[in-house]
A and B are shown apart, each in its own frame.
Chain A
Amino acid sequence: MNERNEKWLDEQLKKTIDSGKVEFDGEQWKQKYSAEYQELISRARTRPNVRRFSWVRPLVRIAAVIAIVAFVILLSHNRFNRRAEQMVPVLVEDRSPTKMLSMLSLSLAYRQGGLDAVDEQSNKVFKMLGQKNTNVSSIGGLLN
């Protein structure tokens, strides 16, 4: 669309909508609705300390409190974890599952309790990886 066409379109729209420049005239409004205006002024004077109720502010405050509490918990949790790493033995379940099937990990398990410990550790990993034990016919049974 060229410039000439645009001007023509603007003209046509103006004519159709008849939208002159709209501005709010406060003085005219006060005169027109003087009774209502006085009522509003008097309300503001009689309850100067009462703030207008809003749902937004409490939600923001609650969110801020939650954020601060979460931050403090996270901070202390990280510190606790670091301390725990240094002092408390790490549970076998806390380890990466496939890492527990490494030559090193299985050798150390063997040292703890022989091949039964190797089996036990491996079975834990298989369970963690989603290979659940079953008592009744499983998918394996169906395929056999």
Chain B
Amino acid sequence: MKTTLKGILIGAVLLASAGQAFAYPPDNAAVLYYKAFILKEEPSDALGKMLAAVGKGEAKPDDQVRQYVERNRRVIKYAVTAADISHCDWGYDLSEGVSLRMPELAKCRQMAYVLAADARMLAEKGDYKEALKRCIAIHKMGIHAGNDTAIQVLVSNAICAMANKCIMDILPHVSNSTETLEWLGAQLTDISSRVPSMRTAIGNEAKFVSIKPTDRKELIEGVRDLGLPKDDLNKAEQVLRQHDDNEFYVMATEYYQSILSRVQIDYDLPYPQAKQALEDLNKEIENVVKEKPEAVIARVVFPIINRFVTIDTRDRTQFNAVLAGIDIYLVRVKTGKLPDELPAGLPKDLFSGKDFLYEKTGAGFTLTGQGKGLDDDSGLVLTGQGKDIVHKYEFKVAK
């Protein structure tokens, strides 16, 4: 009896361990993403540009794109499976500081183009639900891009913005389907709460970022490529050439971290105030660098962070517009017509903190932000120039 019981127990343990050994998918999405990146056929430069244009909705897929997508069908499957895994760890060694290698960022974006091209091809065939599922997978991959660093969040936001643009283009075809609209709304509400936050990324970066004397050569080369005014360039390069001691880089790191912490605080302000606070901080750094050479690194890097708040706000506003648009479509399906006024309680324009301006058009409706942002490459309909860009989102309805 005892022997039988022992045998059963051993069998159960073996079965359980065998189950773990062959568990698929893995619990880390990055494993499958890396697999997809390795197997993905590298397109020629021309085809790569075409894929990006198709993904963004700027061009229709041609035969080359169609064949490419078909040849990468298994790669798409890996990426879609990876997107559904909740945990994603790219294997960063944060102790590497600013020399942390991030090869997956561009690969994520390229993969997003392939998924978006596939989504548009599915939509062309009339398989709208499947096409929207691809868009959701793109969103999830965008979330997986991570929020340890600001550059990750920029990539993440760009991927999510492309997914939203694709959704907006498919929406008219499902605008009569309550079931699809409700499903999509629920998916996007969940995703929007998990999209990496620039504020969090800057906080994380402040904790781990370090600049070391070994980064000096790269900094000098990087500074030269920035196209700074000649005086600024000479000063920055001179300071970096003069200092190769550890003490200088410790001070530079501390100063940079203090700036990031202040940026994080400024991010909590509404957009216009946050933008103003960051512009003031930029001027402060320009003054500090005259007295403290170690501030030169922050001086070189900071103007990017200054722009982040605008890009972050733009992408979140677009997300809100899509969510608001879906709610308006649902009102139309339930009542048989578009509402005359914007329904209450919809997500807002984050540039102004106010509701979107709602307008019915011959083809559907538009939502326009009340605040002004900055020029961008999201493929949205924009009016104005430079810093006076007004974001307008067009939604069409099925006839």
Q: Which residues of A contact B (CB under 8 A)?
A: 89-90, 92, 95, 98-99, 101-112, 114-116, 118-119, 122-123, 125-126, 131-135, 137-138, 140-141, 143-144
Question: Does the CB pair A143–B74 fall under 8 Å?
Answer: yes
Establish whether residues A122 and B47, one from each chain, have CB atoms under 8 Å apart when the complex forms. Answer: no
Chain B residues positioned under 8 Å from A140 (CB to CB): 38-42, 71-72, 75
Q: In the complex, which residues 17-49 of chain B have their Cβ closer than 8 Å to any Cβ of chain A?
A: 38-45, 47-48
The number of chain B residues with a CB under 8 A from chain A is: 49
Residue B336 at the A interface, CB < 8 A?
A: no
Q: What separation, in Å, do the CA atoms of A88 and B149 have in the docked complex? A: 32
Judged by DSSP, the binding face of A is helix
**Given A133-B45, A140-B41: A103 touches B227 (CB 8 Å cut-off):** no
A108 touches B103 (CB 8 A): no
CA distance A135 to B68 in the complex (A): 9
For chain B, what secondary structure do more than half of its interface residues adopt (helix, strand, loop), or is it mixed?
helix
Task: Select from chain B the residue with minimum beta-carbon distance to A89.
Answer: B224
The verdict on A103 contacting B75 (CB below 8 Å), with A119-B110, A133-B48 known, is no
- Whether the Cβ atoms of B215 and A104 lie closer than 8 Å is yes
A99: nearest chain-B partner, CB-CB: B218
**B109 interface residue, CB < 8 Å from A?**
yes
- Closest Cβ of chain B to A118, distance in Å, is 6
| Nearest neighbor of B41 in chain A, beta-carbon distance | A140
Check A119/B106 contact, CB under 8 A, given A111-B304, A144-B72.
yes
Asked if B102 lies at the interface with its beta carbon under 8 angstroms from chain A, I say: yes
Is B101's beta carbon under 8 Å from chain A? yes
Pairs A-B, 7 closest by C-beta atoms? A122-B106, A104-B98, A108-B222, A140-B41, A144-B74, A141-B71, A103-B100
Whether A95 pairs with B227 at a CB distance below 8 angstroms is no
Q: Which residue of B lies closest to A114 (CB)?
A: B377
Q: Tell yes or no: B99 within 8 A of A by CB.
A: yes
Chain A min CB distance to B16 (Å): 32
Give the interface centre of B149, B211, B304 by most chain A CB atoms within 10 Å: B304
Closest to B158 in A: A115
Q: Which residues of A contact B42 (CB under 8 A)?
A: 126, 131-134, 138, 140
B340 part of interface (Cβ distance < 8 Å):
no
Residues of A within 8 A of B38 (CB): 140
Interchain nearest-CB distance for A128 vs B (Å): 12
CB closest residue in chain B, given A129 = B103
Residue in A closest to B302 when the chains form the complex, CB atoms:
A111
